[in-house]
Chains A and B, each alone.
Chain A
Amino acid sequence: MTEPMVPRQVEIDDFSLRRARRRSLVEVGVLYGACVVAALTLAAMLVAVSGGSWVEVLGALIDGSVRKPGRIGATVGTTVPILVVALGAIVSAKAGLVNIGQEGQLLVGAALCTYVALRTPGPGVLVLVVALVAGGVGGALWAGIAAMLRYRRGVPEVLTTLLLVTVAVQLVGYGLKHESLLLAPSGERAARNQVSAQLEADTRLPRVAWFGNEWPSSALIAVVAAVAVAFVFARTLPGMRVRMLGRNPKVAQRVGVDAARYGTAAMLVSGGFAGFAGALMLVGGDFGNYQLVPGFAVDIGWTGLLVALVARERALVAIPMAFVFGALRTGSGFVAATGVERRVTDVVQALLVLALLLPPAILYVRERRRAAAAIAVRV
């Protein structure tokens, strides 16, 4: 009679477990804090080297983003498209795809939205809804090119999504030169301006005046979308399949998740969000004057992508992150008054992202090292 093999239990008393947990919490906090402080210090040094005062710059940033009257509403208006783009980037990242062409997808979405909004007859609300959907479709189509090339022809989507950004810019530029496409009729614009006609007043998203701020109603849509994305990935079967595809394609294949089908779907949704963000920018009124202009995307696509990276694929975390990046953006308008080039905020953004990338990576390595040490002790 042999005893069945029982794995040896490692005894951990309650006290040491709690201590270990507290230590790891402290470790995480200290790491994140140190990295963010390092990033901000670097940015402050850059400002100091160029002869500015970082205290003034910081003051201007806060003034421009929240403190001055009416600025919170402006910041929320900027946050909305950033958040929506970020949600799209999260969807593709969950599927293990690297979609980094949101800037182009957003532009195509905005262009299609403009086209549809200006040509569809009917009651304003209906036109508005159709135009918003058209924006999403435009972005999805543009991302779909990259998805098709990836799954039909084996071209890495990293490159195609990037290269398609430039193509999108030229495509929309072409559209803005021809009256049959996007260009406003010659009576409605200055002679050489390449802009589209303005949207009709009843096809714009309403803005709510409240507490001295103008709040864009698109904010509600964006938050609902964030919750929906979080729900789909946490609680539904398709969401889990997409996650599986991203985390371990081999397992996904064994279980019967079709990589091409779910990957393409994730890519389409991702581009759709970017295009929808473009449409929201157009009908929301925070960007430009309810009309399409050259360079309409103004880096919102890139910023949204950065937000998704910082949020590390969590849709709800993206909401505050998008607000921070939106605030940096609206604040940057006030920085010029301090005599410092406003592009310093671009540097701050990128440094912040790099800083927030570091802690999880460091923690992962330390965790592995600890686990390896524990195994070595037991053997």
Chain B
Amino acid sequence: MVDFLNACVDVLTDEAAIGAAARFAAVLAFVATGEWVAERAGTLNISVEGMMLAGAFAAAVGLDASGSMWMALGCGVAAGVAVAVPQAEMSHRLPADQFVVGLTLNILVLGVAGFLDAELDLVTHRAGSVEVPLLVDLPWVGPALFGQPWPFYLLYPLVLSAWWAMYRSRWGLEVRSVGEDPQAADVSGVDVNRRRRQAVCVAGATSGLGGAYLLVGQVGRFSDGMVGGRGFIAIAAVIFGGWTLRGAIGGCVLFGAVLSFRLTLPQLGYDAVNTEILQAAPYLVTIVVMAVSARRVRPPAALAQPFLRGLK
């Protein structure tokens, strides 16, 4: 027990460990931001996993073909949206079950990416680190938040604009109303399913970006197991955060830290911890945290319920 506490203190005070946690959290935060938008509109979008993988794979292809990081990120976004469109059309234009569609898309993307990855020989590398002057000198969190691979910094404008769009624009109000009471929104003249489709596409764009960031910011090389359930953890972060953006980002930081243990604990000299527990820890922690927190928060009232006019 004392060892465990010591380990926790070490992880929280070691600069490298905080930096690693921030990188893991950033991947989740990209994804969770879009997933939050989709869930506020009423879609529990489990195809984020596939969107991330598609984003990562497209980024690898883009980087291999053009050598430009911007191209890689752009391809990632496009691929994420390409997965989002069938999800949106099938579950919010046609009345197919959103979980069924999402699950199938995940498996499809895994198959396509694995198949093409075996056919292509992709050469990729990581994006270089850029330090933001002055801010990087902040004690404790400076290097973690301002000394990262440069695509990391896209997160700040992304989160801010998501907040602005959802709470300060008419579009955001409509999206939130669609997730709370689609019947009322429909009577007020909001095209419910259209807003939901748009929200899913937003999730696709940010998840694709998150996948691309995972590739160019963290792993550096594509493998079909690289996403490995992170999309689902991002969904859990949104639930943990009680469907607020603040809370979701907080959840990302928590789960990001747990994800980074596998990397940082052995580096800090704690190799006695058994590998299975370290591997399973993020998922176990996610489950336990949800079990504690799920009842304290209120989900969007129409979450995961399809909307068909005239049916309640």
Residues of A participating in the B interface, judged by any CB pair closer than 8 Å: 46, 50-51, 98, 100, 149, 153-156, 158-160, 162-164, 166-167, 170-171, 173-174, 177, 302, 305-306, 309, 341, 343-344, 346-347, 349-351, 353-354, 357-358, 360-362, 364-365, 368
Stretch at the interface among B57-65, B144-152, B281-289: B281-289
The 6 sampled A-B contact pairs (Cβ below 8 Å) are A149-B290, A155-B239, A166-B283, A306-B104, A347-B108, A350-B105
Q: How far, in Å, is B75 (CB) from chain A's closest CB? A: 17
- A305 and B99 alpha carbons, distance in the complex (Å): 12
Note all chain B residues with C-beta closer than 8 A to A46: 112, 115
Q: Are B232 and A343 in contact (CB under 8 A)?
A: no
Note all chain B residues with C-beta closer than 8 A to A362: 94
Q: Determine which residue in B95, B104, B232, B290 has the highest number of CB atoms from chain A within 10 A of its CB, and name it.
A: B104
Q: Pick the contact of B290 from A160, A309, A349, A364 — CB < 8 Å?
A: A160
Q: Are A305 and B103 in contact (CB under 8 A)?
A: yes
Q: How far, in Å, is B243 (CB) from chain A's closest CB? A: 12
- A76 and B61 alpha carbons, distance in the complex (Å): 39
Task: Answer whether residue B96 sits at the interface, using C-beta atoms and an 8 A cutoff.
Answer: yes
Note all chain A residues with C-beta closer than 8 A to B100: 309, 357
Q: Pick the contact of B229 from A162, A173, A347, A360 — CB < 8 Å?
A: A162
Q: Are A153 and B116 in contact (CB under 8 A)?
A: no
Note all chain B residues with C-beta closer than 8 A to A156: 44, 239, 294, 304
Note all chain B residues with C-beta closer than 8 A to A365: 94-95
The proximity string for B residues 280-312 relative to A, scoring 1 for CB distances below 8 Å and 0 otherwise, is 100110110011101100000000100010000
Nearest A residue to B280 by beta-carbon distance? A170
Q: Are A306 and B287 in contact (CB under 8 A)?
A: no
Q: How far, in Å, is A64 (CB) from chain B's closest CB? A: 17
Task: Answer whether residue B71 sits at the interface, using C-beta atoms and an 8 A cutoff.
Answer: no
Task: Answer whether residue B127 sits at the interface, using C-beta atoms and an 8 A cutoff.
Answer: no
A347-B115, A358-B90 known; A166+B229 contact, CB < 8 A: yes
Nearest B residue to A100 by beta-carbon distance? B103
Q: How far, in Å, is B229 (CB) from chain A's closest CB? A: 6
Q: Are A350 and B96 in contact (CB under 8 A)?
A: no
Q: Are A343 and B239 in contact (CB under 8 A)?
A: no
Q: Pick the contact of B276 from A154, A174, A358 — CB < 8 Å?
A: A174
Q: Pick the contact of B280 from A171, A306, A350 — CB < 8 Å?
A: A171
Task: Answer whether residue B111 sits at the interface, using C-beta atoms and an 8 A cutoff.
Answer: yes
Note all chain A residues with C-beta closer than 8 A to B118: 341, 343
- A62 and B92 alpha carbons, distance in the complex (Å): 37
Q: Are B287 and A164 in contact (CB under 8 A)?
A: yes
Note all chain A residues with C-beta closer than 8 A to B286: 159, 163
Task: Answer whether residue B279 sits at the interface, using C-beta atoms and an 8 A cutoff.
Answer: yes
Q: Are B232 and A159 in contact (CB under 8 A)?
A: yes
The proximity string for B residues 210-237 relative to A, scoring 1 for CB distances below 8 Å and 0 otherwise, is 0000000000000000001100110110
Q: A166-B280, A354-B90, A364-B95 are in contact. List 6 more A-B contacts (CB 8 A).
A: A159-B236, A166-B228, A174-B274, A346-B107, A350-B108, A357-B90
Q: Pick the contact of A347 from B46, B112, B283, B290 — CB < 8 Å?
A: B112
Q: Are B104 and A347 in contact (CB under 8 A)?
A: no
Q: Are A171 and B94 in contact (CB under 8 A)?
A: no
Q: Are B95 and A163 in contact (CB under 8 A)?
A: no
Task: Answer whether residue B142 sits at the interface, using C-beta atoms and an 8 A cutoff.
Answer: no
Q: Pick the contact of B99 from A154, A158, A170, A344 — CB < 8 Å?
A: A158
Q: How far, in Å, is B294 (CB) from chain A's closest CB? A: 5
Nearest B residue to A146 by beta-carbon distance? B287
Q: Are B104 and A354 in contact (CB under 8 A)?
A: yes
- A45 and B220 alpha carbons, distance in the complex (Å): 29
Task: Answer whether residue B86 sits at the interface, using C-beta atoms and an 8 A cutoff.
Answer: yes
Q: Determine which residue in A149, A163, A170 has the highest number of CB atoms from chain B within 10 A of its CB, and name it.
A: A163
Q: Pick the contact of A357 from B104, B233, B279, B280 — CB < 8 Å?
A: B104
- A349 and B106 alpha carbons, distance in the complex (Å): 12
Task: Answer whether residue B101 sits at the interface, using C-beta atoms and an 8 A cutoff.
Answer: yes
Q: Are A159 and B290 in contact (CB under 8 A)?
A: yes
Note all chain B residues with C-beta closer than 8 A to A173: 276
Nearest A residue to B232 by beta-carbon distance? A162
- A170 and B229 alpha carbons, distance in the complex (Å): 14
Task: Answer whether residue B185 sits at the interface, using C-beta atoms and an 8 A cutoff.
Answer: no
Note all chain B residues with C-beta closer than 8 A to A361: 90, 94-96
Q: Are B119 and A50 in contact (CB under 8 A)?
A: yes
Q: Are B94 and A349 in contact (CB under 8 A)?
A: no
Task: Answer whether residue B16 sits at the interface, using C-beta atoms and an 8 A cutoff.
Answer: no
Task: Answer whether residue B110 sits at the interface, using C-beta atoms and an 8 A cutoff.
Answer: yes
Q: Are A346 and B276 in contact (CB under 8 A)?
A: no
Q: Are B107 and A302 in contact (CB under 8 A)?
A: yes
- A306 and B103 alpha carbons, distance in the complex (Å): 9
- A65 and B149 alpha carbons, distance in the complex (Å): 49
Note all chain B residues with C-beta closer than 8 A to A343: 111, 114-115, 118
Q: Pick the contact of B107 from A344, A349, A357 — CB < 8 Å?
A: A349
Q: Are A149 and B291 in contact (CB under 8 A)?
A: yes
- A154 and B284 alpha carbons, distance in the complex (Å): 17
- A156 and B115 alpha carbons, distance in the complex (Å): 32
- A51 and B276 alpha carbons, distance in the complex (Å): 41
Note all chain A residues with C-beta closer than 8 A to B283: 163-164, 166-167
Note all chain A residues with C-beta closer than 8 A to B104: 306, 309, 350, 353-354, 357
Q: How far, in Å, is B86 (CB) from chain A's closest CB? A: 7
Within 8 A of A (CB), among B111-132: 111-112, 114-116, 118-119
Q: How far, in Å, is B228 (CB) from chain A's closest CB? A: 8
Q: Are B94 and A163 in contact (CB under 8 A)?
A: no
Q: How far, in Å, is B281 (CB) from chain A's closest CB? A: 9
Q: How far, in Å, is A169 (CB) from chain B's closest CB? A: 8
A159-B232, A365-B95 known; A167+B44 contact, CB < 8 A: no
Q: Are A170 and B276 in contact (CB under 8 A)?
A: yes
Q: How far, in Å, is A32 (CB) from chain B's closest CB? A: 15
Q: Are A346 and B287 in contact (CB under 8 A)?
A: no
Note all chain B residues with C-beta closer than 8 A to A364: 94-95
A98-B99, A349-B111, A350-B107 known; A358+B295 contact, CB < 8 A: no
